[in-house]
Structure 1
Amino acid sequence: MKNRPSAKKKHPKIGLLVVVSVLAAVIVAGGVGIYALGMSWIGDLTEYDVSNTDNLNTSLPSEAWDSTKTVQLAKFQLDNREPVELNQISQYVLDGTVATEDERFYEHGGFDLAGIARALVVNITGSGREGASTITQQFVRNTILSDEMDEISIKRKVREMYLSVKLEEVYSKDEILRMYLNTINYGNATYGIQAASQRYFSKDATDLTLAEAAALVGIPQSPSYNNPLVDGGKNCIERRNLVLDRMLSNGYITQEEHDAAQQAPLEVNETIPTNDGILAYPYFTSYMRQELKEELGMSEAEILKGGFTIVTTLDVTAQEAAEQAARDKAAQANGTAGLDNVFESAMAAVDPETGHIKALVGGRDYSESQVNLATGTGGAGRQSGSSFKTFTLVAAIKAGIDPQTLINCSATAKFPGWSVENINKTEYGTRSIARAFAVSSNTGFARLCLSLGPDAVASTAKEMGIHSDLSSTGSITLGVDAVTPLEMAEAYATLASGGVHHNTTPVLQVYNRDDELVVDNTTTEGERVLEPEVAHAALKVMEGVVQSSEGTGTDAALANGQVVAGKTGTSDDYKDSWFCGVTPQMSVAFWLGDRRDYFGDNSCESIPPSVTVASAFASFMNVVLEGQPAVDFANAANPPYKAYTDAKYGIGGTAGSSGEDTSKDSDKKDKDTDSNSANGTNNGSNSGGTNGSNTPGGPSGGGTDKPDPAPTPDPEPTPDPEPTPDPEPEPTPDPEPTPDPTTPSAASFSLPTIWSRTLQMLAA
């Protein structure tokens, strides 16, 4: 095999003199005017810095990785492209490219006068058609002058020649050959020899056989015509054999090698790249890509061409555990109901101290639906049911109300225009707010919400991390508004961090193509929205949901004894089931339901009441915390409570004081059946559908899209008659934010025939 020649010492000034000599020849042939025109063509290039690789317009894919940078999640690219070093390319490719495209590559200084003369003879005599562009000129055309690629003119050719000489002043021949092979078009949106090798033969470029290498070398001359996937590769084989002929004539291969390669069949082993570039955990990865644009301001072009390395916040162990827990819970619900793949589970897990998203499950199968149930991307949120009562609890503690304050939790509570019931019309009597929270009393928390004012609950939820629109009626505490698991995990994380809110992010770090750190979210700056004592007091109450014998979330208890604070939630008719829980290490929100209800399909199924979502939380956290010691939440003093009485809503006194807790120890919860029930005249149904909009004078949400009829008075007295409250004023809604608004002609000459053909050859 022929040894590759070493690059000769460059003489850049001689190269530029040659360009000037060519222009001088043009003077003789066409006059001084044409010379002046030629000089004007390169005027904007005289200061062009070819040493700056950014100027070479080489598109590079962006890659995304997990938090440890060991698992690749995506490769985002405008086209299929994977740059490699010269030693990662088969010698057959290097030799074949030089022999076919530019046999004097190691001898000329950027353009080849001998090649031009040879091509001139071929084109003028009509014995064929041959181009005169060197490898360096082709690289310039494909990168620096890519906008002029389709322009057929002497101007473009002169500009190519000028930049080719400048390029060879800076880079060695091998560097230019490497850049050329990494950027040339091999058809089917595939650029570069490595990508082409994988695309057509499913192997690395260094492993190509002689026949395979020759086939690929032949493609760039006409990527669509020489495509190995077209017409059984007939044209590709013809071009491959021509490449082999030139490799033989230039001494790169022996006759025996030549003959064997020409007789070899074209055996394509195609690997089709994914269209979206996502390689793993598609719900998380697609959301991360969206956040790069919306939160970090990166354009789609930057992501596809910028060559960024994105290190995400994803914890692979947590993600695998989350997906398994979600699959198991959905399978349990489907099996219990005797249904086939109707129910799905979604979840989000967040680091409370940073807002880093550690795991995210958006549904059962990304290939079936790209609507992300964990983030609402492409769809909407879901009613959170009683898991929203946490924000009423926090609002009460913020207002100085002791969780031991007594509240009327009768089976039914009536208010102007609407009424609410406890699950199964359970009579909870008068009990502390903490115990009302543990059993998830709807009537008690409706009264507490109205006493505080629904706006106080809504503002607390917003401060803690809820971003969705919220209603301003008493039913807000029953979770009638559409929210997402990611929002709920973010808001609950504010409690676990002692009252400091962190915006969630899936992006840890971003490096540019030069490996410079341009985004760093390793540490995040949170905002204190709650006093530490308020957060601590709320967590202590929430622990009762898991630890208390009457709590609705006892299935969330963890194997290592790790303290858990949380809240269950179920919407009307069991269309949605939730558990939102926190430990000092993680904030998690799990949802279970029928995806069809996201799109207003009233035929969606109800979840079997016996299926507890709290156990999915436990399954997930037992894996995440395996081998770790149990730790407690940060301690804090009690808030400065004040005596609070509101006779209108049956609130006042404290358990163990002059007040009386009339609830009985035998009042046990119906495990995970804390369905909210706020209605007009019918039980278990709210007006307003799934989007949380309100009807005049009443609450919204629940398990129906049909509005309730006007309420009628109940002739039966309630256990705790109450005076009719003044109607809550309807606040003026905040205005909706205004969304952000989302080549030269060829030169022509009229000259004698020989002159015309010469110009045509030069312009080719």
Structure 2
Amino acid sequence: MEEKLKIYLTKFWKWISPYLIQLKNHFIRIWRKFHIGKILILLGLIISLFATISLYIYAKVEDVEDLKAGIEQVTTVYDRNEEEAGTLYSQRGSYVSIKEMSPELINAVIATEDTRFYKHKGFDIIGIGRAAVQYVLKGGQISGGGSTITQQLAKNSFLTLDQTLIRKLKELFLSIEIEKEYTKDEILEMYFNKSYFGNGVWGVEDAAHKYFGKSAAELNLAESATLVGMLKGPSNYNPIDDMEKAIGRRNIVLDLMVNNETITRDTAVAVQQENLTLVDNYQESNGYKYPYYFDAVISEAIKHGFTEEEILGGGYKIYTSLDQTYQQEMDQVYEKDGYFEDASDGTLLQSASIMLDSKTGGVLAVIGGRGEHSFRGYNRATQSTLQPGSVLKPLSIYTPALEKNYDLDSILPDEEGLKFGEDNYSVSNATNQYLGEVPLYKAVADSLNVPAVWLLNEIGLNAGIKSLSKFGIKVTNEEDKNLSAIALGGMDKGVSPLDIASAYTGLANGGIRSKGYFITKIVDSTGAVVVDNEKPKQNRATSPEVAEKMTSLLIGVFTNGTGERNKPAGYTIAGKTGSTQLTFENEYNGTKDQWTVGYTPDIVLTTWMGFDHTDEEHHMTTSSAALGVGPLFKAQMEQLLPQTPLTAFETKSAETLVAEENPQEDWKEDIKESVDNLKEKINDGVSTLKEKTSGWLNGVFGN
């Protein structure tokens, strides 16, 4: 078989060879005739020229001239009064000038990282040659090396850490621009202040305090060599995590200093015999004063097009709607553990609160959770998707009902066993009590479920969904387009406290809903405004007339409804309570989520309480928001309201308005209530008399 295959291949080769020779000669003639070699060389030169021009332009448009200002300055957050509120975490430490650094430190870094630093103009042709050889050997991957101190500064300040030829070329052109803009000493100064030294420490000054308990100016030769050695790999060569590796790397740096003739061999040998004594007196400056608020500021800045690294390390001034007084008052309330019934295994009962300016939607204060804060961790006030419960009713049912000419005292059915919709959905009141029929204002105040579902069924499910959309709550999940989700807030895809607070600005501000926001503007290190967000994002959610009627209904929640016991003493507010049911049986008739929303013409406060993961061991044992989240909400309001302008509502509670319009009916109702009370007292008296008589008779005649 093999012999036959060889014979066939030989015959095929003899047949095709003449054609291949002809093709080769034809190709050579065309190549020579049309000068293809020259054309390819020309194209290569054009591509190289284009690439060079592109890289040159890239280097020019980068803010090289602002590099030092960016490193020196921290990103500062300002409150709504343009007073400094704090600073953001950033990749920088305490900035010091090169005059405040030990000369041994300078000598060590030049010997180790860039021996020709004072001779080149930003790049070293020898180092580039070495990197080019590595590029070929590594199959197109840059493995490091060849970068001058200036190039390392360019990389740390402007570029990503990916090891590619393009990044290397960008680094080279940027280093040329940096050398044009700054002196060698300024470049070294920025390099040391920008470098990372492990254990969360940036900059040589803080590193000196972290590892040796002294300033950068006081470092001796051994300590200087140790810090410079860490630049190769801060996690591997720092003496806290690995003393042996740190000393080994230090000794290599000392040998390099001998080679560079900055110290003698005898000096190096003597220092290499020394042990390192660690002293940590580093104290991190805590400018991150309001962690959940600042987390949200960073997240919002990212939505404006910044990266986290840019916003933390760019030296920006971020102006916000923060009110430090409100934030501090809210913080103080949340520090009191008595408001929270944690689980028996120690799991924290969680809570979140957010306070908005009623007119603009600016976030005045926020609490994202309880327990230890983690940088840009889970913020329950802004990132959660929770079932809203009955706090949805004013937005999805009663506002569109008033728009369809229902009124404050419209009579609604309140009967057990009613069924609604095509699927015969039925619902019960939380108290399992039914009045037959109730005026609309009482259905709202007492948060009755049956009248609410009946009303939504009457005006139409789509009317409720459309109303929610106008209040900024988009119902996109098909599984949530049902009476239970829209009327009672039993959503699969829920909402955050920020969503609810933003929605209620539409009732607090005459029908104009404002989208909640943190940042008003961002100014860069040159003074230029790079984000202008001072104009609120608003839309009309309902008419001023309907908003006023809704406010009168929601005042009643706190005067004679589910929020009565949590009304802040001495203040009039409007709002709504809400809770969601557990999905399992429990002896306490407990709840999963609890909400309270309250507002005045000045502010909106939304507070949520619940466990992050609800199960038989982790749920609230209180059956209503009045007993769980209510006291926490009340405490916040009583702390916050005295600090507000205390603008009064232009309306009264719905019950009061109805009574004023129908005084005769109100009089009859008072008589009826008095008669009912009298009957109750008579019945109680009769029952007591029977019990006493029975007891006396038993005592006389025995059981």
**C-alpha offsets along residues 487-545 of structure 1, whole Å, 9 cap, x if unaligned?**
21111121111111111123232233544221122341422222222212211221111
Partners of 1:99 and 1:250 within 8 A in 2: no
Give 2:594's aligned residue. Answer: 577
Partners of 1:363 and 1:373 within 8 A in 2: yes
Give 2:454's aligned residue. Answer: 447
Supply the AA of the counterpart residue of 1:353: K
Change (3 A) 1:327 1:418: farther
**How far apart in 2 are the matches of 1:450 and 1:113?**
79
> The residue matched to 2:399 in structure 1 has which SS?
helix
**C-alpha offsets along residues 219-243 of structure 1, whole Å, 9 cap, x if unaligned?**
4477687544434322244246558
Partners of 1:55 and 1:144 within 8 A in 2: no
Q: Which has the higher contact order (CA 8 A, sep 6+)?
A: 1
> The residue matched to 1:75 in structure 2 has which SS?
coil
Give 1:682's aligned residue. Answer: none
What is the TM-score when the length of structure 1 is the normalising length? Answer: 0.62
Give 2:247's aligned residue. Answer: 234
Structure 1 window deviating more from structure 2 (505-514 vs 300-309): it is 300-309
Q: CA deviation at 1:581?
A: 0.7
**Uncovered stretches (5+) of structure 2, i.e. residues with no partner:** 1-43, 129-144, 582-588, 678-703
Q: Is 2:375 aligned against 1:358?
A: no
2:572 to 539, 563, 568: 563
**Uncovered stretches (5+) of structure 1, i.e. residues with no partner:** 1-36, 117-130, 642-653, 669-764
2:497 to 485, 491, 498: 485
**How far apart in 1 are the matches of 2:310 and 2:523?**
12
Give 1:613's aligned residue. Answer: 629
Partners of 2:108 and 2:254 within 8 A in 1: no
**C-alpha offsets along residues 25-81 of structure 1, whole Å, 9 cap, x if unaligned?**
xxxxxxxxxxxx9999899658837676536997979846362564446425xxx44
- Size of the aligned set, in residue pairs, is 581
Q: Is 2:520 aligned against 1:508?
A: yes
Q: Is 2:587 aligned against 1:590?
A: no
**How far apart in 2 are the matches of 1:163 and 1:448?**
67
**How far apart in 2 are the matches of 1:146 and 1:334?**
47
Change (3 A) 1:299 1:661: farther
Give 1:174's aligned residue. Answer: 185
Q: CA deviation at 1:440?
A: 2.2
> The residue matched to 1:348 in structure 2 has which SS?
strand
Q: Is 2:407 aligned against 1:402?
A: yes
Change (3 A) 1:298 1:635: farther
**How far apart in 2 are the matches of 1:466 and 1:132?**
55
Partners of 1:345 and 1:593 within 8 A in 2: yes
**How far apart in 1 are the matches of 2:121 and 2:419?**
91
**How far apart in 2 are the matches of 1:471 and 1:580?**
24
Change (3 A) 1:146 1:344: closer
Give 1:533's aligned residue. Answer: 545
Q: CA deviation at 1:632?
A: 0.8
**How far apart in 1 are the matches of 2:355 and 2:339?**
21
Change (3 A) 1:460 1:225: closer
**C-alpha offsets along residues 677-717 of structure 1, whole Å, 9 cap, x if unaligned?**
xxxxxxxxxxxxxxxxxxxxxxxxxxxxxxxxxxxxxxxxx
Give 1:688's aligned residue. Answer: none
**How far apart in 1 are the matches of 2:258 and 2:528?**
46
**How far apart in 1 are the matches of 2:647 and 2:349?**
34
Partners of 2:321 and 2:519 within 8 A in 1: yes
Partners of 1:390 and 1:567 within 8 A in 2: no
What is the TM-score when the length of structure 2 is the normalising length? Answer: 0.66
1:458 to 455, 465, 488: 465
Alignment of 1:225-304 (within 5 A): 227-228=238-239, 229-232=241-244, 233-239=246-252, 241=254, 263=274, 265-267=276-278, 269=280, 279=288, 281-293=290-302, 295-299=303-307, 302-303=310-311
Q: Is 2:353 aligned against 1:347?
A: yes
Partners of 1:577 and 1:592 within 8 A in 2: yes
Change (3 A) 1:486 1:45: same
Partners of 2:394 and 2:550 within 8 A in 1: no
Supply the AA of the counterpart residue of 1:551: G
Alignment of 1:746-757 (within 5 A): none
**How far apart in 1 are the matches of 2:447 and 2:633?**
19
Supply the AA of the counterpart residue of 2:571: Q
**How far apart in 1 are the matches of 2:451 and 2:236?**
75
> The residue matched to 2:380 in structure 1 has which SS?
coil
Change (3 A) 1:612 1:420: same
Supply the AA of the counterpart residue of 1:587: V
**How far apart in 1 are the matches of 2:159 and 2:572?**
64
Change (3 A) 1:38 1:358: same
**How far apart in 1 are the matches of 2:46 and 2:401?**
79
**How far apart in 1 are the matches of 2:576 and 2:155?**
63
Q: CA deviation at 1:480?
A: 2.2
Q: Is 2:634 aligned against 1:623?
A: no
Partners of 1:66 and 1:316 within 8 A in 2: no
Q: CA deviation at 1:147?
A: 8.3
Alignment of 1:50-449 (within 5 A): 54=63, 63=75, 65=77, 67=79, 70-72=84-86, 74-75=88-89, 80-82=91-93, 84=95, 86=97, 89-92=100-103, 95-97=106-108, 100=111, 168-183=179-194, 192-194=203-205, 196-197=207-208, 200-201=211-212, 205=216, 208=219, 211-220=222-231, 227-228=238-239, 229-232=241-244, 233-239=246-252, 241=254, 263=274, 265-267=276-278, 269=280, 279=288, 281-293=290-302, 295-299=303-307, 302-303=310-311, 308-326=316-334, 328=336, 331-332=338-339, 334=341, 340-341=346-347, 343-365=349-371, 370-377=377-384, 380-385=385-390, 388-389=393-394, 391-410=396-415, 413-415=418-420, 417-449=424-456
**C-alpha offsets along residues 444-484 of structure 1, whole Å, 9 cap, x if unaligned?**
22322222223222222221222355434266322222333
Partners of 1:496 and 1:535 within 8 A in 2: yes
**How far apart in 1 are the matches of 2:428 and 2:162?**
73
**How far apart in 2 are the matches of 1:616 and 1:236?**
56
**How far apart in 2 are the matches of 1:147 and 1:42?**
26
Give 1:496's aligned residue. Answer: 508
Give 2:56's aligned residue. Answer: 48
**How far apart in 2 are the matches of 1:476 and 1:43?**
59
**How far apart in 2 are the matches of 1:467 and 1:391?**
11
Q: What is the alpha-carbon root mean square deviation over aligned residues?
A: 5.2
**How far apart in 1 are the matches of 2:230 and 2:154?**
19
1:553 to 533, 548, 563: 563
**How far apart in 2 are the matches of 1:355 and 1:310?**
17
Q: CA deviation at 1:97?
A: 4.8
Structure 1 window deviating more from structure 2 (399-408 vs 66-75): it is 66-75
Change (3 A) 1:468 1:183: same
Supply the AA of the counterpart residue of 1:456: A
Supply the AA of the counterpart residue of 1:504: G
**How far apart in 1 are the matches of 2:517 and 2:229?**
47
Supply the AA of the counterpart residue of 2:528: E
Tell me which protein shows more helix as a share of its residues. Answer: 2
Supply the AA of the counterpart residue of 1:359: A
> The residue matched to 1:608 in structure 2 has which SS?
coil
Give 1:126's aligned residue. Answer: none
**C-alpha offsets along residues 284-333 of structure 1, whole Å, 9 cap, x if unaligned?**
4444444334x4244556556655554444444433443454564x7445
Supply the AA of the counterpart residue of 2:549: A
**C-alpha offsets along residues 189-225 of structure 1, whole Å, 9 cap, x if unaligned?**
9765356446645776456566533432344477687
**C-alpha offsets along residues 560-590 of structure 1, whole Å, 9 cap, x if unaligned?**
x332001112333441222111112221111
Give 1:686's aligned residue. Answer: none
**How far apart in 2 are the matches of 1:465 and 1:410?**
33
**How far apart in 2 are the matches of 1:463 and 1:577?**
24
